[in-house]
Each structure stands twice: as structure tokens, then as C-alpha cells.
Amino acid sequence: MARILPLIRRRTETSESPFWISYADLMTALVMLFMVVMSISMVTIAVQAMKTREQALDETERAMEVRRLAIEERRLAMEERQLREKAKMIRDKEILTVLDLLASKAEKRGLDLTVNRATHTISFGEKARFAHDSFLLSASAKKGLQAFVPLLLEVRASEAGHRWLKRVHIEGYTDETGTYLYNVYLSLNRAQAVVCALFATDLDPQRRRKLRSLLMIDGATVTSIKKTREESRRVEVRLEFRQLGDKEEPLPVPEMSGGLGQCAIIME
């Protein structure tokens, strides 16, 4: 028995060892599989995190680009606004130069006129006033208006005048008496009387065409009542200046088949 028992024990251990070896191999394989799965999961998570980071970086870069473009757009808009403001200041300054030149030349030549720099209008005072229900000009008024024509053309030919002076409006006014439509007729005739007096000035054909290209007749009726009716019955000259961006070329004036012609209203 002493000999048999060790032999049985050795056979038993030998017969049981393949099982334990297989179990260990299985556990090793499971561990390896787990490690592979974990590695794949970690790689997947790392790749996803990298993609998320790249997307976040792209969105950040796009946001920064949009912000940069917005800042650049605001900067350009500000520069454009500053340039326009500067150009407007230059325009306003040169328009004042035109008005000052007109006033100084009129004073040197003894012309009785008043230049309103705020409204860009020229008033001829009592000489350009009309009697009630009349559009006739006095001889002194005609003389003053005719002396104004060379002055106007000289100022128009100046550098600032050529750049900015666009039109010269002849505006006739009435007082508040009478009907509206009759005052329209009366104001237009008053303005026409002034234009007829202006064209009665001794001018060569070229200067006459320049004057014609500038003038525009407006019937203003009772849109600007003065303190008294006598002051309201008048004609004013309003200078219209070009806006920023307007072309400096003179306005096209069609040639009439009959030329300048004669005044259509009775002046005496």
C-alpha cells in the first residue's frame, strides 16, 4: 500500500493538470480580448476627442474670421463716413467761398443785393419788389439785375463756382391776397420779368448760352410770406449747388429752333 498510494497520487495529479492548463489559457485569452477591446475603445475615444477638438478649433477659427470680417467692415464703413464728412466739409467751405465771392464782388461794384449764406438766396431789396397785382419792374430794378449778370457768370467761372454751382433759380413771390391760382400766374410772371431783364443784358452768344444753361424759373407764390405785403411781393435768386457725387458737367440745354426769342410778357 505504501508503494501504491504515491503512484495513485502521481497519476491523479497527472490526469488533472490538462484541465487547469486549459482554464489558465482561457483566462489569458479573455484578458487579452478585454485588453484588445479596451485598446480599441480608448483609440476610438481618442479619435473622437481629436475630431471634436478639431471641430471646436474650426468653429473657433470661423468665429474669429467672422469677427475679423465684421471689424474690417466697421473700419471701412467708418473710414468711408469720415471721408464723406471730410468731403462735405470741403464742399460746404467752397460753397461759402462762392457766396463770399459773390457778396464781395457785388459790394465792390456797388450792387444793392443781400446774400443769405444759410438759404443760398440773393435778395435785391426794394428794387426787385412789385406793386400790388403787377409784374412790372422799375427801370432801376432792371439796371440792377442786368449788372448782376456779369457778376453771376464770373462767380460761376471761378474754380469753386464751376465745381459746385448747378442752377440759378429765379423765384417769384406774392402776398396772401387773391386766389391761389391767380397768385401762381402772378408769381411766374414776376419771375419771367426778371429773366427777361437778365437776358436784356449785352452778352455775347457764348455767355448768353451759359446764362441760359443756369437759369430756372420757379413760381413760389405765397410760400415765404414776409412781415409786410410789400416785402412779400418780390423776386429772389436762389443758388442750387451740386451734391457730393454729382457730375461737374453742365446740364444739357436743348437749342430752340427759334433761338432766344423775345419776352412773352409786356415789360413796360
DSSP 8-state symbol, 228:
S
Please check whether residue 27 lies inside any domain of the structure. Answer: no
Spatial CA neighbour of 174 closest among 229, 122, 213: 229
**What is the domain count for the chain?**
1
Mean pLDDT across 221-243: 76
Return d(Cα 250, Cα 268) in angstroms, integer.
34
Please check whether residue 30 lies inside any domain of the structure. Answer: no
Strand pairing class (215-221; 235-241): unpaired
Spatial CA neighbour of 200 closest among 115, 244, 139: 139
Instruction: Tell me the three cell numbers of residue 128.
Output: 426787385
Please check whether residue 223 lies inside any domain of the structure. Answer: yes
Please check whether residue 1 lies inside any domain of the structure. Answer: no
pLDDT at 97 over 90: yes
Q: What is the pLDDT of residue 95?
A: 94
**The domain spanning residue 240 has which CATH number?**
3.30.1330.60
Q: What is the pLDDT of residue 6?
A: 54
Tell me which residue range forms the domain holding 154: 46-268
pLDDT at 61 over 90: no
Return d(Cα 255, Cα 261) in angstroms, integer.
12
**Strand intervals (E) in the chain:** 114-116, 121-123, 165-173, 215-221, 235-241
Contact 120, 173 (CB under 8 A): no
Please check whether residue 25 lies inside any domain of the structure. Answer: no
| pLDDT tens column, 127-142 | 778 888 888 888 888 8
Please check whether residue 33 lies inside any domain of the structure. Answer: no
- Percent of the chain at pLDDT > 90 equals 19
Region of 124 on the Ramachandran plot (φ > 0 left; ψ -120 to 50 alpha; else beta): alpha
Please check whether residue 156 lies inside any domain of the structure. Answer: yes
> Mapping DSSP to helix (H, G, I), strand (E, B) and coil, where does residue 268 land?
coil
Spatial CA neighbour of 120 closest among 97, 137, 144, 88: 97
User: How many beta carbons lie within 10 A of that of residue 129, not counting itself?
Assistant: 20
Mean pLDDT across 95-110: 92
Residues belonging to the chain: 268
Q: What is the pLDDT of residue 120?
A: 92
Please check whether residue 18 lies inside any domain of the structure. Answer: no
